[in-house]
Each structure stands twice: as C-alpha cells, then as structure tokens.
Structure 1
Amino acid sequence: MKVGIINVTGYTGVELARLLHQHPEVELASVTGRSTAGQKLGDVFPHLADIDLSIEAELGRVELAFSAMPHKDSAKEVIPLINKGIKVVDISADFRLKDASQYQRWYGFSHPSPQLLKEAAYGLPELHRAEIASAKLAANPGCYPTSAILALAPAVKAKLIGSDIIIDSKSGISGSGRSLNLGSHYAEVNEDTSAYALEGHRHLPEITQELMGLNPQPPSITFVPHLVPMTRGILSTCYAPLAKKLSGKELKKLYTDFYKDEPFVRVTDAPPHTKHTWGSNICLVYPTIDPRANRLVVVSCIDNLVKGAAGQAIQNMNIMLGLPEATGLEALAIYP
C-alpha cells in the first residue's frame, strides 16, 4: 500500500515521515513541499537520510494521503483527492467541525465543502473507531482537544460532572509550528511561560462538539492554553464540580473500565509527566478528586507531535485500511 504526505516540511510532516518509514505494512512513496520541491528529503532533514525520496511539488500515485497543510489550504488539497477515490487523513482543522458556519468564526474562511464535513469521521479512535473504519476521510483531532477530550470523556459520558468545565493546557513550542515568528524565538520562550488566546482558542469548538457527543447538555468550557519552554508535549489539567458523590477508587475504576481495551490510553496511579510520553503515541490520564471542593481533577499528557498529530494520524490510517491499530506505533517513550 503506497501512501504519501502533502507538506512534509512542517514538524508534523517530518514526524509522519519518520514513523511511516518504520511501518511494516505501507510504503511511503511520495512527499511534497512548497519551498523545498526538487530537493532530497534527507538533504532537507538529515535524520531522514535513509528515506530515498525527493520532495515533489505535486503528490505522486498513492492509495492514501496525509495532508499536513495549514488550515484553509488543506481543504483545497483534500477535496480533489477524495473525488478521485483516494483515502485521506487530514491533520489540519479543515474537516473537524461538523457545523460549517463555525469555520468563518474560528478560522476566518467559508468552508468549501459542507457536505464533506458531514461525511468525514472525527479521528479520535477512542470515541469514533467504527466511523473511522468505514470513512474515506478522517479528520485528525487537534493536539489540545486530544488531551482534553481523553481526560474528560469518561466523566462526561457517565454524567459525573456538570456543565462547568475548566481546561488548563500547557504545550511545548513545537505546537506553534516550524514557521518563524517572534513568539517562538529562543530568547522569547526560554525561561518563560505565558497564557494565550484567553478570548477563545480555535480548538474550543472542537472540544465542545466532542463532549456534547457524549452528553448533549451544552458544556460551559473555559479553555486556557499556555506556552512553556520545552520542545514537545502537552499537559492538560481539567477541573469540574462533581454532580455525584463517589470515592477515588470508584473514579479510578470508571476510567480504567472506559479505556480498558484502548491500546494508546493508560490510566496512571500518579500524576504523569510530559516526558513520560515523549516520542510515543500514548496518552496518560490521571483522574482524582479534590474532596474539599468536591471537584473532579484530571491530568492528561501526550506528545503533541505523536498522539497529538502524526501518531494519531497513522492510528487512523491503520483503522481505515483494516490493519491492527497499533501497527508501526509500538515504540516506547524516549527517556530522559
């Protein structure tokens, strides 16, 4: 099975190439890039020198494509591929939201294919495995939504909490992408932590959509992301008042039962660290109760470039192709 990557030159595209090169069931046959077309992949990224491919301006013949283009631009690449019968995993936000009107508000463009939004599967396997298996287009979730939704899904589905939810997320600098900007300069980021998008982050409607799929009561979510001086990783701490009385042991059982058959979610006995997920497709989840406030507190950790992007995209590909879900993703985290 030949697969390809549109826009291999961003951090997610590079990580996709690294992971796909190790995949035993597919062949990475074509990669594209706008500014580096014509160059050898290994010349642009020396750590990928074993991949004997040149970066092309247009995608070659493949049976499944990954689009790692920015939002708005990705839809322009994806729609023609779907029309040709090529399966796609889109890593941008362009097909995540079911309500087309949300794109103008949060992303600043009118969606070119509202019908395809209805057909696309939201690519969080822990919630949408059956839809992904039959889909021709999987919309890979955002990195923040992956960490937040997996932290909250068991509690929301069990109606354990009310609608008032706070999500405090901290991300490494690679989440800002590879393009140069002042906010990602070393001197600006080093020894500094900052909150941003307090007026509303564009991942908020995605989180809201998926939590409402578990419990139709509209949640009132305060989502505050932070940039921290590390390369990879997201740590989300989620808070919500408990609607029911239960013990910590009962809470732990609720979460372990919910995720017992999931290959890439692990409920932990202690608060996880971002470094515990570095380079792996694992999401670590630690649920607990603050008894003084009768409040649920859940900490989750992922590698934003793997479970938050490229690894989850390959997980979706495996499901779409009928392969064992963990194929090519079995690597343990890198430590220290």
Structure 2
Amino acid sequence: MKVAIVGASGYAGGELVRLLLHHSAAKVTCVTSRKLAGTPLDQVHPQLKGFTDLKFENPETDAIEADVAFLAVPHTAAMQYAGKLLSRGIKVVDLSADYRLAKDVFEKVYGVPHTDYFKAPYGIPELHRKDCINAKFVSNPGCFPTGATLAAAPLAHYAHTIIYDSKTGVSGAGDNPSATTHYPNVGDNVGPYKLTTHRHVAEMRQEMAFLKSRATVYFTPHLVPVNRGILTTAHILLNEPMEQKEVEKLYHDFYRNEYFVRYQKPILAAVRGSNFCDIMVESEGSRIVAVSAIDNLVKGASGQAIQNMNLMCGFAENDGLTGAGMLP
C-alpha cells in the first residue's frame, strides 16, 4: 500500500516514516516539502539514514499518487489538500486541527474561515473506533486532548468538574526554534502558558460532550525541559464519592480490551517512542486524581495517525506500533 506524507519535514513527518518502516503492508513512497524539494529525507531526519532513499518532492496535489495520505501540515493548511485528495479516492488522515471541531467552533478558536468543511470522525480509536473503521477520512486529535480525554473518559458520566494540568515536552512546539523553546529558557524551568486559552481545550470539551458528560472542563499546560512526552493530571470532581476499588474497577473495565492503554504508574520515559497511554487513578472520595502519560509525537500524533490508518484500511490496529517505550 502506497503512503504519501504531505509536509514530511517536521517531527510528525519523521515519526510517520520511522514507524511505518515496521508496518506489514504500508510503504512510504512520497514525502513532500515546498522548501526542501530534491533534498534527501535523511538530511533532515538523520535517524532514518540507511532505512530509506526517499527525497522530498513538491508535487501538485493532483499529482500525488498514493492509497493513503497523511497531512502533517500546519493548522489551516490541511483544508487546501483534503477535498482534492479524497476526490481522487485517496484515504486521508489529517494531523492538523482543521477537521477536529464543528465549523463554527473551529472558526472561533482558530480565527479563520473554514473554506472546505465536512464532518469527519475524530480519531481517538478507544472512543471512536466504529466511526474510524473503513472511513475515508479521519481527523487525528491533538496531543493534549488525547492524553487528557483518555485519563478522564471512564469517569465522564460521574463528574461535574474536570481540571486538566498537563506538562509537555518541547517537541510539542514543533521544529521551528523560538524564544519559548530556546534552551536557556526551557532548561531547569517549568513554564505555564496559555493558562485559560489554549486551543486544545475546545477538543477536550467536545469529547466530554460526546461522552454525554455535563462536566465543566478547564485546562492549563506547562512546558518542561524534556524532549518528548505529556504527563496530564486530571482532577475529576464527582457528583457522588467513589472508593478506590470502585474507581479502579471502572478503569479496568473501560479499557479492558484496549491494547494501547495500560493501567500502571505513568512515567514519561516508559512511553517514549511508543503508542501507549499509561494511566493510574487515586480516589479522595469526591475528587479523583487520574494521571496519564503519552509520547506527544506518537500516541499524541503520528502513532495514533497510523492506528487510525489501520482501522481505515482493515489492518490489525497495532500493525507497526508494537514497539516498547525507551526507559530509561
């Protein structure tokens, strides 16, 4: 099966290629970049040297030949590609935010008009698997909403308030350097940002509504000096108290058949490089603390995108994604 990665020069593009090297049927045949056309892929992603001889291309959308295309382009850019690729029978997984939200919500949150809107499955497979199976297009969720929603989902019906506090690695900001990601500003530091206004809170609230929860949802992220990973602490305030054994049973039952969700102490390094989400909960009666850990570039982006591709194309859901984390 031929795979194209549109916008392959960033971290997500590199991870897609790395992970698909281990897939039983998918082969990356086209990697695009407007600025790097003609440049060998391994000059930008040196970890791939010896594994591929691909070079970046800059084809017109109508000239891309593939069975599946991943859109690893910036927010508001994916809508320029999605419809054209779909019209040619190419299945699409979009890693941007362009199709994650209702049209009016997207336009309010991102401040731009949506020029090619259609409703798409929201690709957290653990919650939306039926919608993703055999789909022609899936919108891949944001990294923060993935870890946060999986942490709180089993208690969605029981909560009146959910407060997410997330610590994220620097790679979540992408590969373009800035003052925020400059090492002296990140090292030996913890930096809260967008305390009440982060765009991803819209996805978190959307997912709680999907789960028929009436909980009020709040979110604050923090930047920490690690390359990869998101550790989310969800403070879940319940309508009625629950004991520890009751809560643990709820989580074990909810995720009993989920390959990529593990109930154990969340450690960032234990999920680094993998598609797993590790979760643990502790009850204080009316307040449950649920903590999750994911790799923001894998389960939070490229790995989950491949998980969705597998559902769309009829492969085993974990095909290409069975690698363990990299602790220490």
Instruction: Sort the TM-score into its range (normalised by shorter chain).
Output: over 0.9
Structure 1 counterpart of 2:159:
161
Instruction: Tell me the alpha carbon deviations over residues 98-129 of structure 1, each in whole angstroms, 9 at most, x when there is no partner.
Output: x2111222112111123x1x2x1101100111
**Which residue is 1:324 aligned to?**
316
CA distance in 2 between partners of 1:290 and 1:273 (Å): 22
- Indicate the larger mover: 144-153 or 29-38: 29-38
Structure 2 unaligned blocks of 5 or more:
none
- Counterpart in 2 of 1:51? 52
| Deviates further, 68-77 or 58-67 | 58-67
Q: After superposition, give the CA deviation of every residue in 1:26-64 in whole Å (9 maximum; x if it has no partner).
A: 111110012211111122222112211111012631010
The offset of 1:246, in angstroms, is: 2.5
Q: Which residue of 1 aligns with 2:91?
A: 87
Instruction: Give the 4+ runs in structure 1 shifted more than 4 A.
Output: none
TM-score, normalisation: structure 1: 0.94
Q: Does 1:180 align with 2:177?
A: yes
Is contact 2:152–2:236 with CA below 8 Å preserved after alignment? Answer: no
**2:108 aligns with one of 81, 105, 109:** 105
| Partner residue of 1:255 out of 234, 242, 251 | 251
Q: Percent identity?
A: 44
Say if 2:159 and 2:213, in contact at 8 Å, map to a contact too.
Answer: no
* 2:6 maps to amino acid: I
Q: How do 1:17-166 residues align onto structure 2 when only pairs under 5 Å count?
A: 17-49=17-49, 50-58=51-59, 60-97=64-101, 99-114=102-117, 116=118, 118=119, 120-156=120-156, 159-162=157-160, 164-166=161-163
State the 1:84 CA deviation: 1.5
Alpha-carbon displacement from aligned partner over 1:181-210 (angstroms, at most 9, x marks no partner): 111111111111111112311001111011
1:219-268 Cα offsets, whole Å, 9 max, x none, are 32120000000000000000122222322111101001000000100112
Residue 188 of structure 1 aligns to which amino acid in structure 2? Answer: N
> Which of the numbers 221, 234, 237 marks the counterpart of 1:238?
234
What SS does structure 1 have at the residue aligned with 2:206?
Answer: helix
Gaps of 5+ in 1: none
How many aligned residue pairs are there?
324
Amino acid at match of 1:161: A
SS at structure 2 position matched to 1:319: helix
**Alpha-carbon deviation of 1:216?**
4.7
Query: In structure 2, do the counterparts of structure 1 residues 246 and 75 end up closer, same or farther at CA, with 3 Å as the change threshold?
Result: same
Cα 1:335–1:216 shift into 2, 3 Å: closer
TM-score in terms of structure 2 length: 0.96
Pick one of 248, 260, 264 that aligns with 2:260: 264
Distance 1:43 1:169 in 2: 33
Give me the whole-angstrom Cα distance separating, in 2, the residues matched to 1:255 and 1:10.
Answer: 35
Of 52-61 and 4-13, the range deviating more from structure 2: 52-61
Deviations 1:287-327 (A, max 9, x none): 11124xx2111000000000000000000000000000000
Q: Give, in whole Å, the separation in 1 of the partners of 2:112 and 2:151.
A: 30
24-33 or 237-246: bigger deviation: 237-246
Which residue of structure 2 lines up, in the alignment, with residue 295 of structure 1?
287
The letter of the residue matching 2:77 is D
CA RMSD of aligned residues (A): 1.1
Q: Secondary structure at the match of 1:242?
A: strand
Q: Secondary structure in 2 aligned to 1:4?
A: strand
Residue 321 of structure 2 aligns with an amino acid whose one-letter code is L
- Cα distance in structure 2, aligned partners of 1:287 and 1:8: 37
